[in-house]
Amino acid sequence: MPQPSNRKGGDGRLTAAIDPSDQGPQDACGVFGIWAPGEDVANLTYFGLYALQHRGQESAGIAVSNGRQILVYKDMGLVSQVFDESTLASLKGYVAIGHARYSTTGASTWQNAQPTFHPTASGSIALAHNGNLINTAELAEMAEEASAADELDLHLRMGTAATNDTAVVTALMARHPDTSLEERAIEVLASVKGAFSFVWMNDDTLFAARDPQGVRPLVLGRLERGWVVASEDAALATIGASVVREVEPGEMLVINENGLVSRRFAEPDPKGCVFEYVYLARPDATISGRGVHEARVEMGRQLAREFPVEADMVIPVPESALPAAAGYAEESGIPFGLGFVKNSYVGRTFIQPSQTLRQLGIRLKLNALDHMIRGKRIIVVDDSIVRGNTQRAQVRMLREAGALEVHVRISSPPVKWPCFYGIDFATRAELIANGLTIEEIRSSIGADSLGYLSLEGMVQSTGQASDRLCKACFTGDYPIPLPDESRLGKSLLETPLSSTQLPVLNNP
């Protein structure tokens, strides 16, 4: 297996670039898979991941097989930082999977980058995951018991430095001495709980599966000479694949030289994540038949109906709030304008040794356009408030730019509960809406007025039935029952659950 020649961040130092005081809702991961003999699958996977970069910016990886062996290349950083032409040229084959990661279980380290890899008695498998499992502790104990019973499975018994739920699932799927990977996968998937869109492969077959609730999106596409699966249909459009349909909740796909086979491992109980419409997905994505851009514009229209105010201009917080701001302006009749300039080359705010420099870090990402703002009453539209630090800085910038009034409008309800299904929100104690009234939040961020879109208005804008959406971060009603708090958490596998270190796996 080729090792990264420019490996960086294996010691976790890149995690120091995240400022916890300015961390809003973080993206889910992006997954991509392709089976296409005669195509340059490594390059197609690269471009597919490029289209999914918004879903995860911590690390990226690609696994490719030529029918005889799987090669994996992964590293910390953006897709464009991890791969170059020579690297992609070395990844030859006809089946591939790719991953762009934002960590929700396990630290942001090279060991936890995906795809994961595991040898088996009949070859190897690689796996990539978007989502977050809620029974990781139980699955890890199953893997520990399985390895203890199998003296020959030394790799599993020894474990590696990986500490994510994906590695545990990979280890469980790799144990199929008396059956096929397909049959073993059906068994494992039936025992996995939580949100997952998996893509995985052995030497000659591509697999994909989506949890019974369909919390995270996954779509199937067609190439002239093959098949593609991806987190969002924008990745299919990028590589010229046509959309066939969404992978159904509780469905597993098997794609190889015999064609495509669909198998059911659980009965569907749709509970798609409403936050995909609010923030996570690209605006050009379509989820459950509803265009994300159209949903966000309607959220803005509804927000204007629910919280009108006299003002001179409506401005978005770029980029995700732009459609909602356009909808607010359209419905209210107040002119739309660009009041902020975003530096697209800055990812997260850098941690600095003082509050003053931390605020300068925020300015690295966003600046106010003084000539657009000065002397005006401004409505600024954003998609959510988590801790409130970002909105506080934005309001201050607008006032310094000469705004007479600043009215904040949020195109979703107050976020009061953490997500356990693949979005890395703050803890409940850190969420500003947990414990403060809307008036107290308004005062905290320094706005002249504050309005949140109602839960009903948000749901209506998605075009989905309320009972087919997960709204847990707004309501605290978790559609997939959660275990005891001690068996949850991002760092769950970084300390042993028992006296024996749990056997979590990644690249050997």
65 is in an annotated binding site: no
Q: Which residue in the block uniquely carries the two structure tokens 């697999």?
A: 207
Amino acid (one-letter) located at 63:
A
383 is in an annotated binding site: yes
Give φ, ψ of 210 to 5 degrees: -130, 140
473 is in an annotated binding site: yes
419 is in an annotated binding site: yes
Provide the CB-side half-sphere exposure for 415 (13 A, CA).
28
Give the Cα separation of 472 and 480 in Å (integer): 10
Residue closest to 280 by CA, chosen among 27, 104, 87, 66: 27
Q: 29 an active-site residue?
A: yes
Paired sense of beta strands 272-273 and 469-470, if any? parallel
* Interior angle at CA 226, CA 220 and CA 232, nearest 5: 25
262 is in an annotated binding site: no
Q: Which residues contact 504 (CB under 8 A, 6 or more apart)?
A: 140, 143, 159, 160, 162, 163, 164, 167, 168, 171, 493
Q: Which residues contact 226 (CB under 8 A, 6 or more apart)?
A: 34, 35, 36, 37, 39, 94
124 is in an annotated binding site: no
Helices (H), 192-291: 233-238, 275
22 is in an annotated binding site: no
Task: Answer yes or no: are the C-beta atoms of 102 and 29 closer than 8 Å.
Answer: yes
Cα dist. 421→29, 112, 151, 255, 472 in Å?
A: 11, 18, 35, 27, 10
Give the Cα separation of 52 and 282 in Å (integer): 8
Q: Which of 9, 23, 26, 29 is catalytic?
A: 29
Q: Which residues contact 62 (CB under 8 A, 6 or more apart)?
A: 42, 45, 46, 49, 72, 73, 74, 83, 88, 91, 96, 97, 98, 99, 115
Annotated catalytic residues are 29
List, as residue ranges, the binding site for [4Fe-4S] cluster.
273, 419, 470, 473
List, as residue ranges, the binding site for Mg(2+).
320, 382-383
List, as residue ranges, the binding site.
273, 320, 382-383, 419, 470, 473
